[in-house]
Structure 1
Amino acid sequence: MKELFYGCLKPLIRFGFYCYYQRLRMVDMDRVPRDKPAMLLPNHQNALLDPLIVAALAKARRPYFLTRSDVFTGGFLQNILESLRMIPIYRIRDGRDTLHRNEEIFDRCADLLNQGEHLLLFPEANHNLGRRVRTLSKGFTRIAINALEKYPETDLQLIPVGINFQRGADFPDRVTYRFGHPLPAAAYVKGVDFNEDSKAMKAAVSASLKVLTTHVPEDQDYEQTMERLGGLQPDFSNPDPINAWFENPDTAVPKLPLKKGLLWKLWDVIFKVVNLPLVAIWKVWVKPKVWEPEFMSTFRFGFALITAPIYLILLGVLFGIFTGWITGIAVPAGVFLHNILYIKLR
Structure 2
Amino acid sequence: MVKTIWLYSVRAYLNLAMFFYFKRIEVNGAHLIPKEKPVLFLCNHHNALLDPLIIAIKNKRFLYFLTRAAVFKSPLIAKILGTLQMVPVFRIRDGWANLNNNSAIFKACSKLLKEKEAVVIFPEGNHCLNRTVRPLSKGFTRIVFETLEQFPKTDLQLIPTGINYEHAEKFPDSASLFFGNPIPAKDFVLKDKNKSVILLKNKIQSEMSKLATHIPSENYTEILVKLNELQVDFLNPVSVNKTISSNFKVVESVEKKKNQFIKSFFYVVLIVLLIVPYAIWKLMVQPKVTEIEFLSTFRFTVANTLVPIWVLALFFMLATIFGWPIALAYFIGVLGTTLVVVKS
Aligned residues: CA RMSD: 1.6
Query: What SS does the aligned partner of 1:153 have?
Result: coil
Q: Verify the 8 A CA contact 1:176 1:237 in the aligned structure 2.
A: yes
The one-letter amino acid paired with 1:57 is K
Aligned to 2:88: 88
The one-letter amino acid paired with 2:111 is D
Aligned to 2:24: 23
C-alpha distance in structure 1 between counterparts of 2:198 and 2:213, whole Å: 23
C-alpha distance in structure 2 between counterparts of 1:259 and 1:307, whole Å: 32
Q: In the superposition, relative to structure 1, how do residues 289 and 74 fare at CA in structure 2: closer, same or farther (>3 Å)?
A: closer
Query: What SS does the aligned partner of 1:169 have?
Result: coil
C-alpha distance in structure 2 between counterparts of 1:226 and 1:234, whole Å: 10
The one-letter amino acid paired with 1:39 is L
C-alpha distance in structure 1 between counterparts of 2:304 and 2:334, whole Å: 15
Aligned to 1:47: 48
Aligned to 2:268: 269
Cα distance, 1:277 vs. partner?
2.3
Aligned to 2:281: 282
Q: Verify the 8 A CA contact 1:217 1:246 in the aligned structure 2.
A: no
Cα distance, 1:180 vs. partner?
0.5
The one-letter amino acid paired with 1:181 is N
Cα distance, 1:260 vs. partner?
5.5
Matching of residues 112-191 of structure 1 within 5 Å: 112-190=112-190
- Give ranges in structure 1 of 5+ residues lacking alignment: none
C-alpha distance in structure 1 between counterparts of 2:35 and 2:144, whole Å: 18
Q: Verify the 8 A CA contact 2:232 2:251 in the aligned structure 1.
A: no
Aligned to 1:344: 343
Identity between Structure 1 and Structure 2 (%): 38
Aligned to 2:328: 329
Aligned to 1:253: 252
Cα distance, 1:93 vs. partner?
2.2
Q: In the superposition, relative to structure 1, how do residues 168 and 259 fare at CA in structure 2: closer, same or farther (>3 Å)?
A: farther
C-alpha distance in structure 2 between counterparts of 1:226 and 1:217, whole Å: 10
Query: What SS does the aligned partner of 2:73 have?
Result: coil
Summarize deviations over 1:54-77 as a string: whole Å, max 9, x none.
222320x21111111222225321
Tell me, yes or no, if structure 1 residue 230 matches structure 2 residue 228. Answer: yes
Cα distance, 1:89 vs. partner?
1.2
C-alpha distance in structure 1 between counterparts of 2:280 and 2:69, whole Å: 31
Aligned to 1:206: 205
C-alpha distance in structure 1 between counterparts of 2:216 and 2:72, whole Å: 36
C-alpha distance in structure 2 between counterparts of 1:320 and 1:16, whole Å: 25
Q: Verify the 8 A CA contact 1:161 1:179 in the aligned structure 2.
A: yes
C-alpha distance in structure 1 between counterparts of 2:263 and 2:9, whole Å: 37
Cα distance, 1:7 vs. partner?
2.9
Q: In the superposition, relative to structure 1, how do residues 20 and 5 fare at CA in structure 2: closer, same or farther (>3 Å)?
A: same
Q: Verify the 8 A CA contact 1:160 1:181 in the aligned structure 2.
A: yes
Aligned to 2:216: 217
Summarize deviations over 1:110-168 as a string: whole Å, max 9, x none.
11111101100101011000011100110100000100111111111110111011000
Cα distance, 1:92 vs. partner?
2.2
Q: In the superposition, relative to structure 1, how do residues 264 and 77 fare at CA in structure 2: closer, same or farther (>3 Å)?
A: closer
Summarize deviations over 1:246-270 as a string: whole Å, max 9, x none.
1221212231423454334333333
Summarize deviations over 1:215-236 as a string: whole Å, max 9, x none.
1134x40001101111122221
Q: In the superposition, relative to structure 1, how do residues 318 and 254 fare at CA in structure 2: closer, same or farther (>3 Å)?
A: same
Query: What SS does the aligned partner of 2:206 have?
Result: helix
Q: Verify the 8 A CA contact 1:274 1:335 in the aligned structure 2.
A: yes
Query: What SS does the aligned partner of 1:22 have?
Result: strand
Q: Verify the 8 A CA contact 1:41 1:123 in the aligned structure 2.
A: yes
Q: Verify the 8 A CA contact 1:38 1:119 in the aligned structure 2.
A: yes
C-alpha distance in structure 1 between counterparts of 2:259 and 2:287, whole Å: 26
C-alpha distance in structure 1 between counterparts of 2:337 and 2:196, whole Å: 54
Larger deviation, residues 31-40 vs 90-99:
90-99
Q: In the superposition, relative to structure 1, how do residues 265 and 71 fare at CA in structure 2: closer, same or farther (>3 Å)?
A: closer
C-alpha distance in structure 1 between counterparts of 2:98 and 2:271, whole Å: 47
TM-score, with length taken from structure 2: 0.95
Aligned to 1:37: 38
